[in-house]
Structure 1
Amino acid sequence: MIDVNNKMGQTPGTKKQKQINENAQSLRLLIEKSSGIMSINDTKGNFVYLSPSLAKVTGFSCDTFKNTNLYDYIHPDDLPKIKKIFPNILESPEKEASITVRFRNKSGGWNDFDVSIKNFIDVSCIGGILMNYRDVTERRAFENKLTSEKEKLVVTLKNIGEGVVTTDINGRIILMNSAAEELTGYTQEDAKGKNVDDIVNIADEKTGKRYESVIDKALTSRLVNGYESHTILISKNGESRIISDSGAYIKDKYNNITGTVLVFRDITDKVAIEREIFKNDKIESISLLAGGLAHDFNNILTVILGNISLAKMYIKTGKKDNAIDRLTDVEKALNQARKLTKQLLTFAKGGAPVIKPVLITSLVRDTVSFALSGSKIKYEIIGEDDVWPVDIDEGQISQVINNLIINAKQAMPDGGLITIKYENIVVGKKPSLPLKTGRYVKISFKDTGCGISSEIIQRIFDPYFTTKANGNGLGLSMCYSILKKHGGYITVKSALGKGSTFFIYLPVSKQKTFDTQNDQQVLRGEGRILIMDDNESIRDTAGRILVSLGYEAYFAKDGDEAVKLYSNMKEKGQAPDVILMDLTIP
């Protein structure tokens, strides 16, 4: 402890002086026993007295401070501040000031002190400048760290590509980063304190309808890939950008909501690229589909032309029965062509299936037989008897079966066996499959091909996913879509080198009558039928068929001609009973 001028020590003298000395001694004992940090300095800053705690905090011994000045321990950058304060303190008794300075310690570092300075020069037991120190080193270190982290956060927010907006609990904007400023067209200064709905203007991309609450929209959003979010942000100058948006509540340590943070990502360019890719993929898919259909139609036309030539030859040689057999094959080929056309229309429209009750066994056998014609692959069918009738669109389900058989063919380039098995099943209240409770027909298609690896089996029903060099990735995804629209399901079981088994589930029909797909008896009739079609061959063929069945046929090549003909027939009291029209004619 320093007591340079014995200000707080015992001194002889008068009774009054004795009392002063006793008070000083009591004060000194109180200071030494307390943890408070203080010093008494003269008008020039020299230490007159210091508490032991100052020495303890700084690491110096009390003797170190002998014959030293306060300024010797103050950080150079803080010296001007404290040297400016001292003259002001000396101007009047008991004048007080506060300052924060860095005080050198023994290790060569610095302690941060909040210092209270007061003029007690005229107080006899002190007789100097009283300085009380509060060590705030840890607090300042924490504050500096917090400031540093805040600066990092600000820099991060400023430079990230996403727009970030934070609001208070009432929706008033507290902060906007640079990306948000660019997207909205408002600066941080313009937006601060304003309601977020007045600054962030988002709307539905398709309808253009503005969302009433930006916060509600963002908090209920789920980030999605691509342009499925259909959200646009309209800037101050009216420019629209496609965005993905999300939000979260800001909570304090007591889990109370204090505000929200909203994040907007500009995905305009990404969406444009994805849409272009999607468009190109669709064009490529349609090209591949057209090529496949052209190949199938060529096969059908070969069958038709060949059988017609044979029928003509048999007729010339008087072999009528053989000619009828050939024409029957022509009729079958034409029905297959009609089904292919229906499949193409289904693909183009992507509409809901037109279902009717059907015994599916004949459809499966015909489709499989046609798809495997000319290949080295054999097939067997198990459980055809007593299969329940199902509600299906024949054209669409034929397309599903055809796709499955084509995949099996490609998995067995050197030949193999496809086993088709039927099962009637009942799905209970706790199904293991995503199907409604009820009765279903389960059909499995098992091949002996190369199989599917576990790494990709979960993705094979994804649109445009394919492992084939020339594949378009639409076949199985189309199967999945068609069966889902039928209220059915498709799944697969496979392993590399062990083949694959696809399972399809179709709901059983609740109707008692159904199409057995047997040959229908020719029904004759009578009446007037007006046919409107711009194709002369179709008019001629349809007319001959109708006349052969007992009907009167009338023809028009377009709408104007049909209207005139109808009017004339009606005036004569012979209005058509039925009108057949090609609706694609302009």
Structure 2
Amino acid sequence: MAKAEITETSVICKAFDAVNFAVAVSDVKEHIRKVNREFLRLHGISSKECAGKTFYQFIVPEDRIRLRRELQKALRKGSSHVCFRVRGLRKNGEVFPAEIDFSIVKVKGKARLLVEVVRDITRQSFIEEQLKKRTKELMALMKSGTEMLQTQDLRKRLQVIAEAIRGLGWRRVVISVRDENLEPTSPEDIVTAGLTPEEVEFLWKNRPPGKVWRERFGPEFQRFRIGEFYYLPWSDPWVRKKFTKGVVPSRIPPEEMVDWDPQDMLYAPLRVPGGRIVGILSVDDPVDGRRPTRESLAPLELFLHQAAVAIENAQLIKDLQAAKDFVSRIMEQSPLGILVFDKNGTCISINKTGLRIFGIQSSSEVAGCFNLFRHKGLIRTGLLKAFKRAYAGETVFCERDFSIPKAHGKKGKRILALRIFPVLDEKGAIQSVVELCEDITERKMLENKVREYAEQLELKVEERTRELLELEKKYETVVENANDGIAIFQDNVFVFVNKRLTEMTGYSRKEYIGKPMFQHVPEPYRTQVKRLIQRISKKKPKHLGPFTVKVLTKDGREIFVEVNSTLIEYENKPAILAVMRDVTERLRMQKELENAQRLATIGELAASIGHDLRNPLTGISGAVYYLKMKLAGKMDAKIREMFEIIENDVKYANRIVNDLLDFSREIRLKPSKISISKIVNEVLSETKIPTNLKVINAAEEAHVAILDECKMKRVFHNIVRNAIQAMPKGGTLKITSKKSRGLIKISFQDTGVGIPKKHLDKIFTPLFTTKAKGVGLGLSICKRIVEAHGGRITVQSKVGEGTCFTVILPVEPKKVEGGEESWMKSREYSLSMMMPAYVES
């Protein structure tokens, strides 16, 4: 029996140690008699360290007295079970929250043992603490919601939210209202809690622009996101670099913080359900000094949505009130009478204009007491059909004569224009009917008068139109038959040309109209014309001109026109009227006259010089002849060479004198019928041809013309001599003739050095030469001789390839008065030899 009891006791001890709770058994004197393993583990002690101690020694001293007093009280009352919450104490001094259940074991009615069950409630305490915190936060949310409902002022609503968030453990709170660009429009848009006025002013002055906030809500900051919030720790180097300015310094010393840095940032966007951001919430300086977590920020997210909805509702209320005020202003300021009827036909609103039209003193006489279908006062029975159509969904326009009753202060007939239309709700059902009315009595009277005046005016207009058409025909006749070209430009484009301008240039009207004016001006002169147009546009002179300019004709010619221009209005747009006169022939004759006068002066000078030089040259020639005769047998080679030089220079000087005298004389021709080939042969036989030069005479023997043989030989001789001088290293001179349409063309083509392009225009100009010797009269005299025969001489040349002179002569020149010996004054210059065209104002 004793052995069985021992076994049972052993089993009980094992079961005692297997209990998951810390269990201790004490006597009534509070000394520990037995503890299980969980008790030893919970307090971090061994069974030996537990022997002889009271369970009070495993409780913090501050809780021992209270526990002893409460336990003694329970024993006196005879209680069998009591529970207490105390702070347990481990061997290492660590304190933990604990819950102790005391079970009192009684024997014969007296307490003998105390069974203590100790539970570590650290986790449970944390949950209870969090539950209390959440309850507090929800209560704050409910309280703020209640306070918000008591005001419609947005700033007051946001202040309630800011204070509620501050009450949840954040020392400083900032809520800012933002527009669509995330910009606050005024300092009133910033609501704070816990900030000084100086800090609020600092925030406003250093506010970041909206684009910066968009970046802060962008992808670059997503790594700092906690739910709806963005937490930027100051310990992050990137954050310190990004936010060096515009941050309000914290007033909390770092030693009061746990893991929150005084410069950490926490903010979140205030989003409405559609996702649009209407504001920003920023909080810092947590009371517990800890960094935020998703759990700790969960209640704040409720405030985010509450603040966003508050801002949106305030804006909606503001917009609704603005719309209401706008509609009210429209009603009161409308020049039309406006009457609104509900769906039952009762007038619910009338504006001031409506009262005035119907002569009603107050809206109370109509609004709420006048019904379309029960009264016959203002609205006559004949108008009920129109209202019934409006209540059926139609829009009705009509005019009605009204007899205003005496009861409304205005007597007499009035004519009203009415528009009656239904107003539908979102489901398409008729909500009300609106009547717009306008008193058109005076307008109708005016319309009748205007109609009478219009009939009279129409007759006058017809008469005036006939006069204008006749005047237009006269102007058209004058313009179309004018001797000058007339053009109108708008934006440098032709919009009108007369018949004479088309005759001058050969272009048709279609080829002018709509085309830029500059394409009819030669390229070198467009810049000057553009400057003139710019001057007209800037200074806007009434008249500009006359000035001379070149224009292009359809056949490629360039003609001179004298232009007079003025600014006009053409088809209600600014335009330039230009009157153009062809002055090509006038300028040519003017130039020829100037040249003739100049050449006459040169001729007189040449004749004087020629006569003055002829006598000394004759003396020199005679003296040389005498010395040669005197020294006939005594001259050595050097003396003979010197005499030859003197004789050759005398001949050269004499030739120049002859040229000067020929240039100064009038050309008289002794024409005879002669072959061109014969003249060429005689010239070639009289000319010394270098051995390195080849001459090909292909002139036709049959080509016969009536001309002065001597003078024409001089022309050919001059051309051949020039060709030989142009081929110092040898070459080929080919002479050909061709007969066509009563003309003979004699060409002298050499393979010499050629003539530069810049000299071609001056080659026939008197006194122009590029040679070291000579006065430049040879080709000029040749030109005079050829033109005296009624022909012309031309030249074509390319440097390095050669030159071709062409003499064009008539087979039978025109007979002039004077018999066989006749003369004609040649034209020294033609239009093609004029100086480059110019534009002069």
TM-score, normalisation: structure 2: 0.25
Bigger helix share: 2
TM-score, normalisation: structure 1: 0.34
